[in-house]
């Protein structure tokens, strides 16, 4: 190994990942420094997660090479990467609350000899060593469900260390942690790097990256953008390198006019069952004909705010829809009848019935509007409504009777939006409306949002994409850590100001 490469544990040469119609990574050269915290950052869609999945063996690159300790390697699956000392702790913890700490650590790789029962004593011994290495006083026999979220995060790290990981990838590790738990995690990270473990750290929290990072790599639009030592840069430098100077499209015509507020929210607060505040005293409004964008990073509280507004979460605070005060206990169906509807973030999980027809998916939320008698639907009115919505939204479908799963992602999203429109909403909530759809369909969705606003509907949409928020918002709200940190007119907003506001208090 040359001296130049002695400090580099992993490097890639011209790694590319190409999907139909999309280049997620474009000939990226990337380096991971030995025994350091290697921060990787970029906007949503920059290619960070794709690159990490390749290094962890989750997927294979379309082309390019990976070198581990200056030796060419390839990983067909995660066990290949783990065998070479590369472990990954995903943002969503992969643990089981009804199992003990030791059982979680050794799940799928239990210690046993031949057909003999599990060697519980050995699993407990190794677990105790791992807890000592992480400076944690957690018994191997402790049920995982009894641990705090921060401690559970450390159990995920222990799982990787049990595989003797020399390189540990941490994907947004602090998104669900309290300030005290973040400090504990940082102490563990520093202890691990002192032991020679190399950390790859993915996060959007800029001040956090400055506090824990040694080296930083920035990706932009699937390309390597820049690399530096953290001690040599500052937050404004990161923002400049992340954003570049690409022009931002604007879907809004000048001189737009708005009416009275159709949504008025005061002091909304949501505390989850673990005591974490997910929405923290948020007050805002949306006027008739106005498009309000909510920008924030993962874990900012955007989705949770929208779920509160639709009555999907138990919250405190006041909500008013088109002049009607809404009780916190009012259920979702009653809120829909008052004029508010939601297009959810996860279309496949929460937005569609995949084996049901396009027609049924579109009308399921508004059957009450087409009752012929008390218990029967006016089929003619239903057919007319579906046909009209398909035409208005330019949904590409041969027949409304085919299963919705046969449609493209963009057309599925249009069907879900069509469903909300058939309820005749006064307020339309769109949570990450362009997630998982191609660039052409994104433009269709944005034009649709503008068209609906021109009809007097108030639109509240969320995104973690800066260019999207700038393209179609009359006004921009920024959330960070559950709090509202900015409320800016689009004409006065800058991308750097939004990024800074999204990192406040983190």
43 and 123 belong to one structural domain: yes
90 and 131 belong to one structural domain: yes
User: Of 95-104, 153-162, 181-190, 387-396, which gets the smallest average pLDDT?
Assistant: 387-396
Per-residue pLDDT at 458: 95
Taking residues 164-172, what's their average pLDDT?
89
Give the separation between CA 269 and CA 32, rounded to whole angstroms: 41
191 and 85 belong to one structural domain: yes
Domain end call among 379, 394, 423: 423
Q: What's 249's DSSP letter?
A: P
412 and 433 belong to one structural domain: no
Residue 221, both tokens: 């639009």
156 and 273 belong to one structural domain: no
Give the C-alpha distances (Å, rounded to integers) separating 479 from 311, 484, 505.
20, 5, 10
121 and 144 belong to one structural domain: yes
Q: What's 62's DSSP letter?
A: S
> Is 349 among the domain residues?
no
Taking residues 53-73, what's their average pLDDT?
93
Contact 368, 361 (CB under 8 A): no
Residue 350: left if φ>0, alpha if ψ -120 to 50, beta else—which one?
Answer: alpha
Query: Dihedral (C-alpha) 331, 335, 340, 341: value to the nearest 10 degrees?
Result: 40
Give the C-alpha distances (Å, rounded to integers) separating 385 from 343, 351, 418, 419.
19, 19, 10, 10
Kindly give the pairing relationship between strand 63-68 and strand 8-19.
antiparallel
Phi first, then psi, for residue 79 (nearest 5°) are -65, -35
Per-residue pLDDT at 248: 55
Angle CA 195–197–198, to nearest 5: 140
> Is 345 among the domain residues?
no
Per-residue pLDDT at 184: 85
Phi first, then psi, for residue 423 (nearest 5°) are -85, 0
378 and 464 belong to one structural domain: no
Decide if pLDDT at 89 tops 50. yes
Phi first, then psi, for residue 225 (nearest 5°) are -105, -50
User: Of 100-109, 235-244, 331-340, 381-390, which gets the smallest average pLDDT?
Assistant: 381-390
Of 281 and 414, more confident? 281
| Average pLDDT score, the chain | 85
pTM: 0.61
459 and 481 belong to one structural domain: yes
Per-residue pLDDT at 411: 78
Bridge partner list, 44: none
Give the separation between CA 110 and CA 101, rounded to whole angstroms: 13
Domain end call among 243, 265, 282: 243
476 and 440 belong to one structural domain: yes
Residue 347: band (very low, low, confident or very high) from pLDDT cuts 50, 70, 90 = low
Of 196 and 150, more confident? 196
> Is 364 among the domain residues?
yes
> Is 320 among the domain residues?
yes
Per residue in 460-487, pLDDT (tens digit) is: 999 888 888 988 999 999 998 899 999 9
Decide if pLDDT at 1 tops 50. no
Q: Hey, which bits of 296-381 come out as E strands?
A: 316-321, 324-326, 340-343, 371-373, 376-377
CATH number of domain containing 131: 3.40.50.300
Residue 64: band (very low, low, confident or very high) from pLDDT cuts 50, 70, 90 = very high
Q: Hey, which bits of 148-298 come out as E strands?
A: 167-171, 198-202, 215-220, 223-229, 261-271, 277-287, 291-295
Per-residue pLDDT at 55: 95
Decide if pLDDT at 134 tops 60. yes
Decide if pLDDT at 388 tops 80. no
Taking residues 143-160, what's their average pLDDT?
88
> Is 309 among the domain residues?
yes
Per-residue pLDDT at 297: 78
Give the C-alpha distances (Å, rounded to integers) separating 403 from 21, 86, 110, 149, 260.
24, 42, 43, 40, 40
Give the separation between CA 423 and CA 357, rounded to whole angstroms: 18
Of 376 and 103, more confident? 103
* Count: domains in the chain: 3
Per-residue pLDDT at 175: 67
Helix 409-421 with 379-392: angle, nearest 10 deg: 130
Per-residue pLDDT at 61: 93
Residue 217, both tokens: 């790599």
> Is 94 among the domain residues?
yes
198 and 316 belong to one structural domain: no
214 and 114 belong to one structural domain: yes
User: Of 41-50, 207-216, 257-266, 385-394, which gets the smallest average pLDDT?
Assistant: 385-394
* Structural domain of 369: 356-423
Give the C-alpha distances (Å, rounded to integers) separating 229 from 86, 96, 128.
23, 38, 35
> Is 351 among the domain residues?
no
Residue 280, both tokens: 């923290």
Decide if pLDDT at 251 tops 90. no
> Is 348 among the domain residues?
no
- Decide: helix, strand or coil at residue 330: coil
Residue 2: band (very low, low, confident or very high) from pLDDT cuts 50, 70, 90 = very low
Task: Find all residues with CB under 8 Å of 174, minimum gap 6, and list them.
Answer: 181, 182, 185, 203, 205, 208
Q: What's 92's DSSP letter?
A: S
Give the separation between CA 205 and CA 503, rounded to whole angstroms: 6
Decide if pLDDT at 304 tops 60. yes
Decide if pLDDT at 350 tops 70. no
Q: What is the DSSP string of 120-158?
A: HHHHHHHHHHHHHHTT----TTSBGGGS-HHHHHHHHHH
Per-residue pLDDT at 371: 61
Decide if pLDDT at 440 tops 70. no
Per-residue pLDDT at 425: 85
Domain end call among 402, 423, 444: 423
Instruction: Say what percent of the chain tops pLDDT 70.
Output: 89
293 and 258 belong to one structural domain: yes
- Decide: helix, strand or coil at residue 457: coil
């Amino acid at each position: 190994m040359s001296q130049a490469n002695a400090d580099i544990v992993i490097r890639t040469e011209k790694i590319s990942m190409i999907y139909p119609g999309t280049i997620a990574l474009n000939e990226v050269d990337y380096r991971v420094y030995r025994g350091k915290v290697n921060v990787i950052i970029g906007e949503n869609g920059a290619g960070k997660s794709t690159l990490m999945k390749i290094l962890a063996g989750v997927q294979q690159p379309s082309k390019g090479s990976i070198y581990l300790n200056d030796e060419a390697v390839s990983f067909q699956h995660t066990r290949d990467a783990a065998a070479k000392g590369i472990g990954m702790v995903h943002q969503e913890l992969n643990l089981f609350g009804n199992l003990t700490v030791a059982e979680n650590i050794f799940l799928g790789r239990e210690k046993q000899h031949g057909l003999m029962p599990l060697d519980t004593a050995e699993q407990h011994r190794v677990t105790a060593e791992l807890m000592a290495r992480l400076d944690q006083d957690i018994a191997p026999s402790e049920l995982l469900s009894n641990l705090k979220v921060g401690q559970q995060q450390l159990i995920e790290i222990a799982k990787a260390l049990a595989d003797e990981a020399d390189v540990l990838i941490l994907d947004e590790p602090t998104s669900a942690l309290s300030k005290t738990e973040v400090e504990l995690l940082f102490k563990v990270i520093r202890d691990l790097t002192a032991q020679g473990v190399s950390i790859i750290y993915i996060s959007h929290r800029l001040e956090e990256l400055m506090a824990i990072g040694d080296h930083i790599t920035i990706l932009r639009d699937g390309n390597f953008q820049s690399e530096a030592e953290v001690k040599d840069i500052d937050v404004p430098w990161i923002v400049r390198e992340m954003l570049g100077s690409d022009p931002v499209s604007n879907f809004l015509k000048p001189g737009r006019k708005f009416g009275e507020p159709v949504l008025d929210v005061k002091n909304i607060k949501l505390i989850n069952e673990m005591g974490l505040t997910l929405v923290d005293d948020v007050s805002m409004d949306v006027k008739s004909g106005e498009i309000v964008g909510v920008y924030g990073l993962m874990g900012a509280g955007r989705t949770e705010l929208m779920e509160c507004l639709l009555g999907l979460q138990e919250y405190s605070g006041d909500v008013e829809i088109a002049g009607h005060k809404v009780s916190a206990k009012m259920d979702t169906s009653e809120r829909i009848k008052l004029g508010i509807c939601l297009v959810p973030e996860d279309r496949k999980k929460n937005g569609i019935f995949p084996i049901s027809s396009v027609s049924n998916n579109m009308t399921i939320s508004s059957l009450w509007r087409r009752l012929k008698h008390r218990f029967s639907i006016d089929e003619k009115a239903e057919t007319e409504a579906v046909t009209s919505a398909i035409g208005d939204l330019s949904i590409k479908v041969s027949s409304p009777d085919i299963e919705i799963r046969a449609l493209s992602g963009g057309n599925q999203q249009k069907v879900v939006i069509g469903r909300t429109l058939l309820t005749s909403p006064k307020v339309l909530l769109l949570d990450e409306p362009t997630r998982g759809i191609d660039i052409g369909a994104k433009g269709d969705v944005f034009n649709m949002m503008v068209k609906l606003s021109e009809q007097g509907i108030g639109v509240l949409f969320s995104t973690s994409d800066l260019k999207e928020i700038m393209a179609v918002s009359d006004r921009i709200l920024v959330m960070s850590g559950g709090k509202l940190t900015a409320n800016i007119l689009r004409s006065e907003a800058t991308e750097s100001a939004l990024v800074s506001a999204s990192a406040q208090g983190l």
